[in-house]
């Protein structure tokens, strides 16, 4: 990925060397960029230029703003209510709900539908997000018919982070590239836990130990709020692990 020190402002010229070039895949512009014909790419927000060469994608990383559903996004939603054929699910506070069909779960059928009460958490993928229509979610892979890690999230705690932090967690980078290492560090030091990260700025943490859940969530949020370096993250995790013992 591109260096996290490459900052741009709206209207800046982007160094062509930062734009990925895949032999087979078309270039995809993510949030914060606009194509100006014939071949100019212009930032529309201030932030860091980030790229994913494998997917031939480039975007501007900005921790603020409001989450807007996009097809393919992994998200953590809160069930609002159940309707005849779908659940209404909120992805962010004070926003219109998305739809999660009752049959969009592994092994779900008309006679065997999941029972999710208001307030339940689900890990889902955005299927569609068309203008003037409610976005739709799914908790099953269309290719395999399996959950592949998606579905209801039982137990644990939900933590709010910036959109930039959630993207960093979903697209881990090497430590030498300013990556987020708190989860790896907890695991390396023997902490047992599981996580789910939503592109909508939500992180779910679960463990048999409530103290571990709180420690992991706190480390993620502090890394986000304080923009901690790799070494600062490692130091924070060591301190929190010590407090757990």
CATH number at residue 168: 3.30.1370.10
Closest to 143 measured CA to CA, from 79, 72, 195, 196: 72
Choose the final residue of a domain: 99, 128, 154.
Answer: 154
CATH number at residue 149: 2.40.50.140
Could you tell me how far CA 216 lies from the centroid of its own chain? 16
Give yes or no: residues 240 and 164 share one domain: yes
Q: Count of domains in the chain?
A: 3
The reply to whether 214 falls in a domain is: yes
Residue pair 197/164 in contact by the 8 Å Cβ criterion: no
> Could you tell me the residue range of the domain that residue 47 belongs to?
7-61
**Average per-residue pLDDT for the chain:** 87
Q: Going by DSSP bridges, is the β-strand pair 121-128/7-8 parallel, antiparallel, or unpaired? A: unpaired
Q: pTM, whole model, 2 decimals?
A: 0.79
Residue range 135-149: average pLDDT? 89
Choose the final residue of a domain: 39, 61, 83.
Answer: 61
The reply to whether 66 falls in a domain is: no
- pLDDT tens-digit readout, 46-100: 888 888 788 888 888 776 678 888 888 999 999 999 998 999 999 998 788 999 9
- Between 175 and 153, residue with greater pLDDT: 153
Given this model, what pLDDT does residue 3 score? Answer: 43
Closest to 196 measured CA to CA, from 243, 237, 139: 139
CATH number at residue 43: 2.40.50.100
Listed ranges 2-11, 20-29, 157-166; the one with the highest mean pLDDT? 157-166
Choose the final residue of a domain: 154, 170, 200.
Answer: 154
């Amino acid at each position: 990925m591109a260096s996290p020190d490459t900052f741009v402002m709206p209207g800046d010229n982007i160094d062509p060397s930062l734009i990925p070039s895949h032999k087979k895949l078309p270039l995809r512009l993510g949030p914060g960029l606009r194509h100006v014909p014939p071949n100019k790419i212009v930032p529309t927000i201030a932030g860091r230029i980030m790229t994913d060469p494998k997917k031939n994608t480039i975007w501007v990383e900005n921790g603020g703003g409001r989450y807007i559903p996009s097809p393919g996004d992994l998200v953590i939603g809160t069930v609002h209510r159940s309707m005849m054929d779908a659940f209404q699910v909120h992805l962010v506070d004070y926003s219109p709900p998305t739809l999660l069909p009752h049959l969009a779960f592994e092994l779900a059928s008309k006679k065997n539908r999941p029972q999710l009460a208001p307030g339940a958490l689900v890990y889902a993928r955005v299927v569609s997000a068309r203008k003037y229509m409610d976005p739709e979610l799914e908790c099953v892979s269309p290719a395999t018919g399996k959950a592949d890690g998606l579905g209801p999230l039982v137990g644990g705690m939900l933590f709010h982070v910036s959109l930039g932090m959630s993207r960093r967690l979903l697209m881990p980078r090497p430590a030498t590239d300013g990556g987020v290492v708190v989860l790896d560090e907890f695991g390396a030091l023997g902490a047992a836990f599981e996580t789910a990260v939503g592109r909508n700025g939500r992180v779910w943490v679960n463990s048999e130990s409530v103290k571990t859940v709180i420690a992991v969530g706190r480390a993620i949020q502090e890394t986000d709020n304080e923009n901690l370096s790799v070494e600062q993250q490692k130091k924070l995790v060591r301190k929190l692990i010590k407090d757990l013992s």
